[in-house]
Amino acid sequence: MQEHTTDIASWDLLPTEDGIRIGNSILWLDAQFTPDLSFLSGASSLKNRTTSKVIATEETCRLLAINNIRLNALVVAYNQNVSIGQFKLELLPSGAGLGAASLYVETRQSSLLYAPRLQPQKTGISRTMQLKRADTLILGAHTPYPPSHHPSRKKEKERLLHTMQAYIEQGLCPVLVCEPYAIAQEICKLLAEANVPLSVAGSIFRTNKVYESYGSDIGPYTMQHKKMDTPRVIMVPQMQEKEKKTIYPIPPGPVFMIDESSHQPVQSDIRRPPVERFVISATCDARELKTIIQTVEPREVFITGPYAKQYASELGSLKSPVIALFPSHLPTLF
């Protein structure tokens, strides 16, 4: 495994605490505070307001506006070519939610695919992932590299559905805690297709409406109210804290969690212990990552994110060299 921080290959990638800069150009990748231009890969990549001018899809702008995050954006549709200086850019659907995108960058000499979050599985609620062959591939490592494969998404979704049905048959209202963008909509559709009654918290309700405005068929659901007359699944977002550190409440009932990884630390934000956990990730697992690398056929692969070092080590046996990419003064978690 190798570690680099500057002057990497022909692309001269500069990883910082605020995204990645491509050489001395004005183009950054998922930066929040650069005075230049930054590509934003999706709504889940930005938690707070940004001062940067961004390249993003219209859908991402709409989703962030739900949380009062207004973007100074160059709005680009999927598969539309845009030229910025020496670069020719194209946004590709990443499959990781409505508006989520990877960035394909091409010059006369080389090509790069920045794909920090990919979901190759068809979710039924957003565009299917697209890839292009590239000389350089940048991937993200946001959860621990598992010592074994995660349970399959299909089996976990089936297990989740059967569990929710069983609790409703008992006259209970199971509380399902999940990520409010992408995963929530996928599970809403799953429950709706099985005729499972569902109510969702306000943030998920508003996100669902944006999805539906772009043609996603999520199915029937209602807004969560304090008093529920009939048994139903109640879906709420993972806990967030307001400025005064007060915690959003969740309704009474048995709690179930949807996690990104079976190997990540147990979240400390659970308001009461969950009865059970399900692993349904918004992004691809380790096995799928290897397949993606083989499909893109890069000369080199770079891994960003808190687990970059671990992924670079685990994927080091591949044909293409795999390099952890992070600022030299910031050690990764593993």
Q: Dump pLDDT digits (tens) for 278-295.
A: 999 889 888 889 999 999
Domain boundaries defined on the chain:
2-146+283-325, 153-279
8 A C-beta contact, residue 315 and residue 289: yes
User: Of 11, 309, 292, 305, whose CA–CA distance to 21 is shortest?
Assistant: 11
**Range 220-243 average pLDDT:** 79
How much is the pLDDT for 102?
98
Task: State residue 27's pLDDT score.
Answer: 96
Categorize the per-residue pLDDT at 3 as very low, low, confident or very high, splitting at 50, 70 and 90.
very low
DSSP per-residue codes, 128-144: PP-----SEEEEE--SP
Domain 2-146+283-325: which topology?
A: Metallo-beta-lactamase; Chain A (3.60.15)
Over range 234-247, report the average pLDDT. Answer: 64
271 pLDDT tier (thresholds 50, 70, 90): low
Higher pLDDT, 28 or 332: 28
What's residue 6's pLDDT?
40
Angle at 48 between CA 306 and CA 85, to 5 degrees: 80
**Above 90 in pLDDT, residue 5?**
no
Q: How far apart are CA 274 and CA 70, in angstroms?
A: 35
| 3-class secondary structure, 280 | coil
Domains 2-146+283-325 and 153-279 are alike in CATH topology: no
Q: Minimum mean pLDDT among 118-127, 179-188, 246-255, 315-324: which range?
A: 246-255
Interhelix angle for 202-213 vs 183-193, to 10°? 80
CA–CA dist 6, 327 (Å, integer): 9
The helix-helix angle for 58-65 and 202-213 (nearest 10°) equals 160
Token representation of residue 330: 């910031």
Decide: residue 225, CB within 10 A, 0-12 exposed, 13-18 middle, 19+ buried. exposed
∠ CA 239-244-250, nearest 5°, is 30
In 3D space, the residue among 194, 191, 195 whose CA is nearest the CA of residue 208 turns out to be 191
pLDDT at 44: 86
Q: Which CATH number is 153-279's, of 3.40.50.12650, 3.40.50.300, 3.20.20.70, 2.60.120.560?
A: 3.40.50.12650
What pLDDT, in 10s, does the model give residues 122-146?
A: 888 999 999 999 999 999 998 888 7
User: What is the average pLDDT across 171-199?
Assistant: 95
Q: What does the pLDDT average to over 253-270? A: 73
Where residue 243 falls among pLDDT bands split at 50, 70, 90? very low
Q: What are phi and psi of 153, to 5 degrees?
A: -60, -40
User: How many CB atoms are closer than 10 A to CB 164?
Assistant: 24
CA distance 186 to 12: 38
Higher pLDDT, 220 or 319: 220
Angle between helix 153-169 and helix 183-193 axes, rounded to 10 deg: 60
The residue type at 166: A
- The reported pLDDT for the residue numbered 36 is 92
Cβ(217)–Cβ(251) below 8 Å: no
pLDDT at 240 over 70: no
